[in-house]
Amino acid sequence: MFTWYVGLLAVSGIAMIFMANVGNGQSDLARALNAVFGIGFLGYAGYLAFVFDGGSYLIFFQAFILPVLLAINFVKSTNWAALTTRPTPTQQAWRAYQREQQRG
């Protein structure tokens, strides 16, 4: 159970740091929260994995609600229109050329 917890903390931290770096329409506050909590999660996972030498520890699975909420905010604030851009004139010409070759 301990290994799973550390792994989930690390994955959540990496995901939050990724979301902070990508941006895509997020506010500066949302990006800062992603970065701060991502570093915190990843740091705590590193502490548990490499420094913690046994004894008692508490597992807070409620902490994983935060990455889910930040991921939902990331998806909602993403500028999907910018991600689905129109092809450039060169790309359009190449596609037209490919269609002509397939017909012939």
Domain ranges of the chain: 2-103
Among 57, 4, 15, 52, which residue's Cα sits nearest to residue 37? 15
Predicted local confidence at residue 83, as pLDDT: 64
Assign 2 to helix, strand or coil: helix
Predicted local confidence at residue 98, as pLDDT: 93
In tens digits, the chain (104 residues) has pLDDT values of: 888 999 999 999 999 999 898 867 788 898 999 999 999 999 999 999 999 888 887 788 888 898 898 888 888 887 767 667 777 889 889 999 999 999 86
Predicted local confidence at residue 63, as pLDDT: 84
**DSSP structure string for 39-81:** HHHHHHHHIIIII--SS-----GGGGHHHHHHHHHHHHH--HH
